[in-house]
Amino acid sequence: MSALAFVLNGREVEIGEAAAQTPLLDLIREQGLTGAKEGCAEGECGACAVLVVDADGRPGKSALRVVNSCLMLSALAAGREIYTVEALATNGVLSDAQRAMAGAGGSQCGYCTPGFVVSLFAEQHRPDRTGPCEDEALAGNLCRCTGYRPIHDAAAALGAAPDGPLLRRLERAAPVLHAVSVGGFSRPATVGECVALLAATLDARLVGGATDLGVERNLRAKTWPHLISVEAIDELQQFTSTPERVLIGAALPLREIGERWRDAPDAVHEWLTLFGSPPIRNRATLGGNLATASPVGDGAPLLMALDAVLHIAGPSGSRTLPIAQFFTGYRKTALMPGEMLTAIEIPKPLPQSVRFFKIAKRRADDISTVALGVSLDVDRGRVRRARWAFGGVAATPLRVVEAEAAVSGGPWNADAVARVQAVLDKTLRPVSDHRGSKEYRLEVSKSLVEKYYWELQS
């Protein structure tokens, strides 16, 4: 197989340098496979969902991951094995997921149906599934006309995955991603190679899961002179948890953080559930989330509350930086030219109490209007350490140090809450946009402090 090819429904497909930055969805449809569709082109609706054979926690085996093919730039498929809805029926016999959707009346116009079927199929084939198919697996799929009850019924009707070519496929390992270097696309295998490429290639842009860059490509017609994928760098995929720290590779997909950090505080698992949707979490990375420096990004508030330290590699070697010093202005970071994020370190012991609150227009698959990451350590009735970190209230994610000072050393009570709120009144400078007015954002931020207080009381 050539460096820039992948296997689609069992057949090798050449990507071609000219198509490297086009959405995988376009390439798939050009093959005559028109089940996957473009609905939104920004990862919100799931009409373009396809299945990627990916590594699984079980050695030598694999799993099917749902991804939004509208966001996946074609070159990122190089070396992978991908299946579309057309591959799910065997010898003309519909798969369980297809039969269940038809039987439950889960489809009217049918535009969204292939995407739902793909998500249901992946959920039915999830290796660690013990109970019924979870509705959460469908959180990345939208239907405009059927309504969700019949779709929920279809999910509830699915039992264990029956024998079939794709179930048997999962008994073998996923393809290993090798280094690639063609025209305007590179996929180095080590941090050293990546840093050297960044230094040698003018205007090169790193790409992780492309859940931000894919949107830029589709909605703003953006292309890049050279893309460097970080997906084949083992060091960036690491996850370790020791008594001293948790270390998360900058290119580890968010889903894996939840799977591998099993004893993480509940706040981490809640934060992950509120982050995008399953297809987004199958691709999105923490490195991409922090580097994109969105003021409403959800990674920074929680990581600030946990006092995370960022590991950075660049032409002058490696360095570390506390996350509170990383954001230097609107969409600006402390990364110097040629530098990249390699890992996120969370020091232990973890705070006694940590919480993440996200206020958005929808519970699932939405961007924050306001987010709060908060942590608290109280010793003998006195606050020893507090962190208040907000998203959506300034040009950057913001750790409000004055609010921390306002409670340190004193009792954690209603007066302390009022002091934090008074600081927020003076320091937060949110802006108004279609998600919320500046007044709303300020009031919500203050009420989240109160909500946290009452939650702790109960």
Ligand X SMILES: Cc1cc2nc3c(=O)[nH]c(=O)nc-3n(C[C@H](O)[C@H](O)[C@H](O)COP(=O)(O)OP(=O)(O)OC[C@H]3O[C@@H](n4cnc5c(N)ncnc54)[C@H](O)[C@@H]3O)c2cc1C
CB of 81 to ligand X, least distance (A): 21
**Candidate residues 212, 231, 256, 404; the one interacting with ligand X per rule CB under 6 A:** 212
CB of 60 to ligand X, least distance (A): 27
CB of 323 to ligand FES, least distance (A): 30
Q: Is 44 in the site for ligand FES (CB under 6 A)?
A: yes
Q: Is 436 in the site for ligand X (CB under 6 A)?
A: no
List the single partner that 363 binds among ligand X, ligand FES, none, CB under 5 to 8 Å by kind. none
List the single partner that 275 binds among ligand X, ligand FES, none, CB under 5 to 8 Å by kind. ligand X
Q: Is 364 in the site for ligand FES (CB under 6 A)?
A: no
Judged by CB, which is closer to ligand FES: 62, or 218?
A: 218
Q: Is 184 in the site for ligand X (CB under 6 A)?
A: no
List the single partner that 167 binds among ligand X, ligand FES, none, CB under 5 to 8 Å by kind. none
Three-state secondary structure readout of the chain: CCCCEEEECCEEEECCHHHCCCEHHHHHHHCCCCCCCCCCCCCCCCCCEEEEEEECCCCCCEEEEEEECCCCEHHHHCCCEEECHHHCCECCECCHHHHHHHHCCCCCCCCCHHHHHHHHHHHHCCCCCCCCCCHHHHCCCCCCCCCHHHHHHHHHCCCCCCCCHHHHHCCCCCCCCCCEEECCEEECCCHHHHHHHHHHCCCEEEECCCCCHHHHHHHHCCCCCEEEECCCCHHHHCEEECCCEEEEECCCEHHHHHHHCCCCCHHHHHHHHCCCCHHHHCCCEHHHHHHCCCCCCCHHHHHHHCCCEEEEEECCEEEEEEHHHCEEECCEECCCCCCEEEEEEEECCCCCEEEEEEECCCCCCCCCCEEEEEEEEEECCEEEEEEEEEECCCCCCEECHHHHHHHCCCCCCHHHHHHHHHHHHHHCCCCCECCECHHHHHHHHHHHHHHHHHHHHC
Phi–psi pair at 76, nearest 5 degrees: -70, -10
Q: Which two tokens stand for residue 141?
A: 């799929």
Q: Is 143 in the site for ligand FES (CB under 6 A)?
A: yes
Work out the angle between the directed axes of helices 414-427 and 438-457 (0-180°, nearest 10). Answer: 160
Q: Which two tokens stand for residue 144?
A: 């405009």
Distances (CA, A) of 229 to 128, 140, 150, 356: 29, 24, 40, 30
CB of 187 to ligand FES, least distance (A): 23
Best CA proximity match to 389, nearest among 406, 407, 370? 370
CB of 357 to ligand X, least distance (A): 13
Q: Is 213 in the site for ligand X (CB under 6 A)?
A: yes
CB of 104 to ligand X, least distance (A): 26
Q: Is 185 in the site for ligand X (CB under 6 A)?
A: no
**Candidate residues 282, 285, 369, 396; the one interacting with ligand X per rule CB under 6 A:** 285
Q: Is 393 in the site for ligand X (CB under 6 A)?
A: no
Judged by CB, which is closer to ligand X: 5, or 367?
A: 367
Q: Is 442 in the site for ligand FES (CB under 6 A)?
A: no
**Candidate residues 50, 88, 133, 250; the one interacting with ligand X per rule CB under 6 A:** 250
Q: Is 96 in the site for ligand X (CB under 6 A)?
A: no
Q: Is 54 in the site for ligand X (CB under 6 A)?
A: no
List the single partner that 207 binds among ligand X, ligand FES, none, CB under 5 to 8 Å by kind. ligand X
**Candidate residues 6, 15, 46, 77; the one interacting with ligand FES per rule CB under 6 A:** 46
Q: Is 184 in the site for ligand FES (CB under 6 A)?
A: no
Distances (CA, A) of 132 to 135, 136, 153, 318: 9, 11, 11, 46
Number of chain residues interacting with ligand FES (CB under 6 A): 23
CB of 197 to ligand X, least distance (A): 13
Segment interacting with ligand FES (CB under 6 A) among 4-12, 36-44, 59-67, 167-175: 36-44
Judged by CB, which is closer to ligand X: 287, or 436?
A: 287
Q: Which two tokens stand for residue 117?
A: 């079927």
Q: Is 292 in the site for ligand X (CB under 6 A)?
A: yes
Q: Is 414 in the site for ligand FES (CB under 6 A)?
A: no
Q: Is 41 in the site for ligand FES (CB under 6 A)?
A: yes
**Candidate residues 6, 13, 33, 39; the one interacting with ligand FES per rule CB under 6 A:** 39
Q: How many CB atoms lie within 10 A of CB 50?
A: 31
Q: How many CB atoms lie within 10 A of CB 90?
A: 13
List the single partner that 15 binds among ligand X, ligand FES, none, CB under 5 to 8 Å by kind. none
Q: Is 109 in the site for ligand FES (CB under 6 A)?
A: yes
Query: Are 53 and 84 a contacting pair, CB within 8 Å?
Result: no
Q: Is 373 in the site for ligand X (CB under 6 A)?
A: no
- Residues at the site binding ligand X, with contacts judged by CB under 6 A: 42-44, 205-213, 215, 230, 250-251, 275-276, 280, 283-285, 287-289, 291-292, 297-299, 340-341, 365, 367
Binding interface with ligand FES (CB under 6 A): 38-41, 43-48, 68, 70, 107-113, 143-146
